[in-house]
A and B are shown apart, each in its own frame.
Chain A
Amino acid sequence: DVKVTQSSRYLVKRTGEKVFLECVQDMDHENMFWYRQDPGLGLRLIYFSYDVKMKEKGDIPEGYSVSREKKERFSLILESASTNQTSMYLCASRRGQGGQPQHFGDGTRLSIL
């Protein structure tokens, strides 16, 4: 069974802090993704990666960066946290291309005060 693990379920940070969200998957998946989910807006893609050290912007990359130094780990970085980045953050991974489903981690509820 696929396991996608996010480092924290709940996180509270202050405006201006640099925030790291970590995600690890144990199924040797090539593709990894970061989303945020807000009421009424659904899932929005922030960044994704299809290989080690490769990354592509999603639909809302502003204010975020990512790092994929190892295949199993994909980190999301909030360079200078702002209150509008308070959200549920979901990491996902997927094998190969095209027809495979994505598997999600439990999510991190991030509050920026």
Chain B
Amino acid sequence: RKEVEQDPGPFNVPEGATVAFNCTYSNSASQSFFWYRQDCRKEPKLLMSVYSSGNEDGRFTAQLNRASQYISLLIRDSKLSDSATYLCVVNSGDTGRRALTFGSGTRLQVQP
């Protein structure tokens, strides 16, 4: 089983739609969680951190469910510019020196 698993998609949604991605992780000791966004042929960029109580940044909401070991990303009122691959990222909670573990990504295509 992969440490971090995501549905690869693609998720094809119309502009204005609400879309949600889930991501599961296998290490129950994981302590830090992030969502990154990666555009085609570009580097991953931090979208938002995920906090235990859930957090919101504009149209984006991230949630953490430790009991079920998954995190989610909700995008409201989708824009064409939201089209990208969204990477779920987990810190395994060891000494912290280890790199973050990246999921393979979920591709979102927002259509006009």
Measured CB to CB, the residues of A under 8 A from B are: 31, 33, 35, 40-43, 45, 48, 50, 56, 58, 88, 90, 92, 94, 96-107, 109
Contact = CB atoms under 8 A, between A and B. Distances in A.
B49 A101 contact: yes
Contact of B43 (A99, A100, A104): A104
A102 B100 contact: yes
Interface string B28-70: 0001101000000111111001000000000000000000000
Given A98-B91, A99-B91, A107-B43, A42 B31 contact: no
Interface residues of B, number: 24
A29 B97 CA distance: 12
Contacts of A41: 104
A31 B95 CA distance: 12
Task: List 7 A-B pairs, minimum CB-CB distance, nearest first.
Answer: A97-B96, A98-B96, A42-B104, A104-B43, A99-B32, A43-B102, A50-B97
Contacts, number: 59
B46 A97 contact: no
A58 B99 contact: yes
A48 B43 contact: no
A33 B99 contact: yes
A31 to B, nearest CB: 7
A53 B43 CA distance: 26
A90 B31 contact: no
A53 to B, nearest CB: 15
A102 B99 contact: yes
Nearest to B103: A42
A33 B103 CA distance: 17
A40 B45 CA distance: 19
B42 A107 contact: yes
16 contacts: A33-B99, A35-B99, A41-B104, A42-B102, A56-B97, A90-B43, A92-B99, A94-B100, A97-B95, A97-B97, A98-B91, A99-B91, A101-B100, A102-B100, A106-B43, A107-B43
